[in-house]
Amino acid sequence: MSASGFAPHQIRAIAEAIAREISAQSSPPPAGGSPAARPGPGGVALGGGAFATVDEAVGAARQAFFQFGGIGLEHRKRIIANLRAVLSAEADSLAREAWQETGLGRYQDKVHKNRLVIDKTPGPEELVPRAISGDRGLALIEPAPFGVIGAITPTTNPTSTIICNGIGMLSAGNTVAFNVHPRAKRVSVRTVQLMNQAIVAAGGPPNTVTCVAEPTIESAQALMTHRLVRLVVVTGGPGVVGEAMRSGKRAICGGPGNPPAVVDESADLDEAGRLIVEGHSFDNNIICVDEKEVIAVDRITDDLKAAMRRHGAYELPASELSRLEAVIFAKNAGPRGHAKVNRDLVGQNASVILDKLGIHVGPEVRAVLVEVPNDHPLIWTEQMMPVLPITRARNVDEAIDLAVAAEGGNFHTATMHSHDLPSLSKMARLSNCSIFVKNGTGVGGLGHHGEGYTSFTIASPTGEGLTTPLSFSRWRRCTVTDHFRIT
C-alpha cells in the first residue's frame, strides 16, 4: 500500500486516463489554468510553472499559495492522489530523460527511484492535529503551512527529489519554487510542468509548483534570500548546504554522506555480499545512502569478497590500485584524507571505469571491488561511483569504531550485517545516523525493498532526518478558555 492510501497497481490503473486527458490538451486552458508553454531564452519551455526569473517563479507560487489555502483538506488529498497517478504514468520516461540529460547512473534504477517517491512519499494523512483538554478549557494544536518554500535540487536525483519534495510540501499546504540543478534543467522543468498539469486537472490552482527555467548559482542564491520565501529546503553537497544555513531563513538541509557497511563473523556472508553489491551499485552509487566503503572483520573478509564476486563485483588486484587512483581521483590525498574525484567518472558504470584500466567486462559487473588499508582515501572519500573499497578490522569493535570515523560525522546513513544483537545495537548507537540498516541495503532505509516511508531529502545537518509533510509544517495553537471539556 502506498502512502496515498492507494496500492501502486491502483495508482497506475487510473493514471492512463488522466495522462491521456492531459496530453490531449493541445490548446491553452481556460482562464485560471496553467498557461501554455512558450520557448524560453535557453531553449527550455516557459509556462506550466517554469519562469524566466526568480521573482516571477516566487511571485506566481505566492499567488497560488493563497488560492491553495482556500481548498479543503479532502480536495487536497484528491490533488495529491492525482499527482501520484499522473507521475506514475511518466515514471519511466522521466527516468530515461534524467539519465540521458545528466549522463549519471542507471536508467532502470532511476525508474525504481521515481516509483519509490511516487508511491511511498507521505501525504496529507500525516497532518494529525493534537487536542489538550483540562479544567480551563481546550487547546487545539495543528500543523499549518509556511507559505512559499524555496527548494534546491541536485543533479544526482533530479526528478525523484522534485517529486518527493513536491508531494510533501503540497501535502502540508505550501507551494514551492524550485531552483533545479543546471545539468538537469530540462527533465526537471518537465517534471514541474507535469506536476502543474496534474494539479490543475484535479481542480487545484496553477503554479503551486514553479521553477526557474534557466537555473544558475546566482538564481539559487536569489531564491534562498527572496523576501517571499518562508522556508529553504536544500538537497545537495556541503557548499549549497552552507549557503542555505547562511540565508537568514529557517533551512532544512539534506547534505552529503559516506555510508559504511560493517560485516562481522556472525553475518550470512553470501547474503551480505549480495546486498552490499546491490546497494553500493544502485544507480551507480550516486545516491547519498548507497554503501561507500566496507569494513569487515579480518577472519571473514576473504569469504565476504568471494561472495561479492559471485554477485557482480570485479575484484581489482592490489597491483592495480595506484593505476585506479590515477583514473578516479583528480587530486589524491594522504592517509585518512578526502581526495577530489574525477567528475567525469561520477555515476558511470563499473565497465567504463575498468575500461580506463584496459580491463573489459560485461554488464553483469556492477562494482569494482578493491582491498585497501584502513587509512586509504577511498575509505574516507564519498566517491559517488561504483568503486567499492573494503578494509579489514581485527574484531567487530574495531570495525565499528573505524566505520563511525569514516562516516565522517555526517550522521547520514550506515549499515551493518550481523546476527549479534549487542554488536548491532552498539553500531546503531555510535553511528548516530538518520538511517541505520541492519542486514539490508542502504537504499532499503528509504523503503526500497524495505518498510517505511521514503524521502530524498535526508536532513541530517539540520536534524529532521527523512522529511515528511510535518517537516514542512509549522505548529499553530488555538485555545478556548473554560469551555469544551466534556468530561
Domains with residue ranges and CATH for the chain: 8-255+465-477 (3.40.605.10), 260-451 (3.40.309.10)
pLDDT in tens, the chain (487 residues): 444 454 555 444 444 443 433 333 333 333 334 444 555 656 678 999 999 999 999 999 999 999 999 999 999 999 999 999 999 999 999 999 999 999 999 999 999 999 999 999 999 999 999 999 999 999 999 999 999 999 999 999 999 999 999 999 999 999 999 999 999 999 999 999 999 999 999 999 999 999 999 999 999 999 999 999 999 999 998 899 999 999 999 999 999 999 999 999 999 999 999 999 999 999 999 999 999 999 999 999 999 999 999 999 999 999 999 999 999 999 999 999 999 999 999 999 999 999 999 999 999 999 999 999 999 999 999 999 999 999 999 999 999 999 999 999 999 999 999 999 999 999 999 999 999 999 999 999 999 999 999 999 999 999 999 999 999 999 999 999 988 878 8
Cell of 78: 484528491
Among the listed residues 203, 193, 257, the one whose alpha carbon sits nearest the alpha carbon of residue 23: 193
Q: Is-contact 455 468, C-beta < 8 A?
A: yes
Instruction: Note the pTM of the prediction, 2 decimals.
Output: 0.90
Grid coordinates representing 231 are: 522556508
- CA–CA separation, 152 and 258 (whole Å): 21
Partners of residue 478 on adjacent β-strands? 140
Whole-Å CA distances, 402 to 128, 289, 304, 427 = 41, 18, 18, 11
The C-alpha cell at 7 is 496500492
| Helix, strand, or coil (residue 341) | strand
* H-only helix segments in 90-184: 91-102, 107-120, 158-171
The span from the CA of 313 to the CA of 37, in Å, is 46
* pLDDT at 248 (0 to 100): 92
Beta bridge partners of residue 140, listed in sequence order: 131, 478
Classify residue 487 as exposed, middle or buried by CB count within 10 Å of its CB (0-12, 13-18, 19+): exposed
Gap between the terminal Cα atoms of the chain = 38
Contact yes or no for 23/201 (Cβ under 8 A):
no
Q: What span, in angstroms and rounded, lies between the C-alpha atoms of 418 and 248?
A: 44
Q: Which single residue is written with the C-alpha cell 589524491? A: 332
Task: Using alpha carbons, list the distances in angstroms from residue 306 to 271, 310, 359.
Answer: 12, 6, 19
pLDDT of residue 40: 61
Nearest-10 crossing angle of helices 217-224, 238-245: 30
Q: ∠ at Cα 215 (210, 221), nearest 5°?
A: 90
Are the beta carbons of 229 and 249 closer than 8 angstroms? yes
